[in-house]
Amino acid sequence: MTMRVVPAVDIRGGKCVNLVQGDYARETVFAEDPLEQAEKWWRGLLDAGVPPEQAVVHVVDLDGARDGQCRVVDIVKRMSESGIRVELGGGIRTLESVRDVVDAGVVRVVLGTAAYRDPALLRRAAELWPDRIVVGLDARNGRIALQGWLEETDADPISFARQAEKLGAVRIIYTDILSDGMMSGPNHEMTRAVAESVGIPVTMSGGVSSLEDLRAARRLAAVGVDEVIVGRALYLSRFSIAQAQEALNTDN
């Protein structure tokens, strides 16, 4: 299986930022213009040899995730118009909101809080927009977190992943919150457990800090992990998109 790196653009207050463990008080601003940053990442993907029809930039509306209303529709529309394939999450909680972002050109819509709280919404969205609805499964200490990671539940990721697949999700994005932004490596074990529990592809997210992390992620291809989201490490120039892509597809 060919694996792909997915560069992240997290937006808060109209700027590209990165949070540590989802903490809004621990924010680093990396770029002023999300469109310009997304275009940079997109060029990097194409230059690295990722086929345009498979390449994607992961965009998160952090304000929307916390407040429940997606506010970056205009930004992602401009990204889409410039040829970027966008995967968007954060504050998408209604069918109308899903329709708005699809109309803006988003190729993958990530439902997190809404998918957990309103299974009927997830099912209906998957019926209306097949092949576009992705579920964001964010966990802290083995339990699902909601509302921009501010609210914890007692739900376990495995059960939620299986339910999401049954309701029509075409992909799971598993984010380990305690790893996110820490530059200390992702949670390979939990990612593997989630991937082994479903038959749809899984994206690993949170904590990638080195090419060795990506080489280790390569071992998860056998259980259905085919993408790895990278944010802070790319911003800090720990490695390039091309180097990341090579690491994901070089046999260990």
Domain ranges of the chain: 4-248
pLDDT > 90? residue 176 = no
What is the length of the chain? 252
The pLDDT assigned to 179 comes to 52
Per annotation, catalytic residue among 10, 61, 63, 213: 10
Quickly state the pLDDT bin for 2 (edges 50, 70, 90). confident
pLDDT digits (tens, 9 = 90+) for 73-128: 999 999 999 999 999 999 999 999 999 999 999 999 999 888 988 999 999 999 99
Contacts of 179 (CB under 8 A, 6+ apart): 185, 186, 187, 206, 207
The pLDDT assigned to 144 comes to 78
Mean pLDDT of 30-49: 97
Token code pair at residue 202: 């899984």
pLDDT > 60? residue 39 = yes
pLDDT digits (tens, 9 = 90+) for 128-162: 999 999 999 888 777 777 654 555 766 788 999 99
CATH 3.30.420.40 applies to domain 4-248: no
Q: Pick the residue with more confidence: 251 or 88?
A: 88
Q: Please state, in angstroms and rounded to a whole number, the distance separating the CA atoms of residues 190 and 121.
A: 26
Catalytic status, residue 33: no
Q: Please state, in angstroms and rounded to a whole number, the distance separating the CA atoms of residues 205 and 232.
A: 11
Q: Please state, in angstroms and rounded to a whole number, the distance separating the CA atoms of residues 43 and 241.
A: 10
Per annotation, catalytic residue among 47, 74, 118, 138: 138
User: Any idea what DSSP says for residue 92?
Assistant: -
Q: Compute how many other C-beta atoms are within 10 angstroms of the C-beta atom of residue 112.
A: 27
Q: Pick the residue with more confidence: 172 or 28?
A: 172
Q: Which of 222, 157, 169, 160 is nearest to 200 (CA)?
A: 169
Report, in this order, helix, strand and coil percent for the chain, each rounded to 5.
40, 25, 35
The pLDDT assigned to 228 comes to 97
pLDDT digits (tens, 9 = 90+) for 177-228: 765 544 557 888 889 999 999 999 999 998 899 999 999 999 999 999 999 9
Name residue 213's amino acid. Answer: D
The model's pTM is 0.92
The pLDDT assigned to 251 comes to 66
Quickly state the pLDDT bin for 172 (edges 50, 70, 90). very high
Catalytic status, residue 138: yes
Q: Please state, in angstroms and rounded to a whole number, the distance separating the CA atoms of residues 61 and 71.
A: 7
The pLDDT assigned to 24 comes to 77
Mean pLDDT of 23-38: 89
User: Residue 57: in which H helix or E strand, if any?
Assistant: strand 57-61
CB 205 within 8 A of CB 175: yes
Least confident of 47-51, 59-63, 114-118: 114-118
Mean pLDDT of 11-24: 84
